[in-house]
Amino acid sequence: MRTRHIIWAVCLVGALVLAATGLRAAGQILPEGYPDGLKAVDGWVVSSQGRVFTKGSLYGYIDGGAEAIIHYGFRRLSVFYLVPRGAAADSAKEITLEIYEMETPEGAVGVFNSRGAGDEYVSPRLRTVHWIGSKQANFVKGVYYVNIMASGCTQQEVEEFTLALFRDMPLGRSELPLDESWLPELDFVPGTGHYMTAEEALAYEPFLSSPFWGIGQGETEAYSVKYGPGPADYVLLYFNVEKPDLDNEVLKLFRDYLAQVNWAEDFLQGVDMQGKYYLFGKYGKTGVLILGAPDATAARKALAESLDRARQSLEKRAGEKKKPPVTK
């Protein structure tokens, strides 16, 4: 009996090893080895050994743009070169795949928002922030920002590659604390929306540089975007920690730098020397700052709409988390 059990155990271990070997031979991306373990992506195979860049070596790979990526919380970059499976040696089709691993999903989205013209194709089949062109595609999944550069490919081929890679990549925290669907109906300036770092908050002196906000310190997430006319600054905030004195802190800040400071329809409002309006409002752990708006009525309407959208989204998320698991 013992001998039979030993034989069974050896066979089981052997089957598992063969299964694992088969997965690697098939080129599937394994989470525990990703992204260094990349072998293939649905119809494409890696043609040469990948390269890995850290903070120190990134400057040698990206000429003049490394600093902009590093300040979003860069960990490493893995670069792979892929060709169609079974393609002839003289095939003109090739994909250069850049996978940036960041410290947080917010950092990955920050890099994404700094790339692209904003008018590229968006696939309804890919449920993440992304864009797809005939020669290039970008997307975010968890802490990864992915840049795909294609040569000799059609846009459909680029899209299929992008979808396959997204499916194969490991799971991660891809749900950002802020949701762009919370933004109100405004004429936003293309390419200006991004997650704010501590360094960028300093540029909004004095309204976002004050320590009580905790932007870039893990306390508060801030998504900033400009909108017209003006343009004014719209900042969507999400507080990861409780801030019981927030209203008093913002009130003091407004009174120090603005005139005619008052609460209007549950929103704090002030006016600067140029006659532009500054507003702040919040719902739960969500806040909105509008800085330098020319029209107070329109700004109040936008702020109210945004907080209402945030409320609906947060309530929906909470309801989905409370749903019991589906049993068959």
* The pLDDT value given to residue 33: 47
* The pLDDT value given to residue 292: 94
Q: Where are the domains of the chain?
A: 28-168, 180-322
* The pLDDT value given to residue 254: 96
Q: What percent of the chain has pLDDT over 90?
A: 30
In which residue are the tokens 């950092």 written? 107
Q: How many CB atoms lie within 10 A of CB 87?
A: 15
Most distant CA pair in the chain: distance in Å? 91
Take residue 80 and report the two structure tokens written for it. 């792979």
Q: H or E element: which one contains 138?
A: strand 136-141
CA distance to 130, 135, 161, 234, 237, per residue, from 97 (Å): 15, 12, 10, 34, 33
pTM of the shown model: 0.57
> CA-CA-CA-CA torsion for 15, 16, 17, 23, nearest 10 degrees?
110
Q: Using 50, 70 and 90 to split pLDDT, how confident is the model at 6? A: very low
> Would you give the DSSP letter of residue 209?
T
* The pLDDT value given to residue 8: 34
pLDDT tens profile 227-276? 887 789 999 898 878 888 999 999 999 999 999 999 877 799 999 999 99
* The pLDDT value given to residue 174: 47
pLDDT tens profile 107-124? 887 788 777 655 567 887
Q: Tell me the pLDDT of the chain averaged across its residues.
A: 79
CA distance to 174, 239, 310, per residue, from 284 (Å): 22, 9, 9
Maximum mean pLDDT: which of 37-51, 88-102, 282-296: 282-296
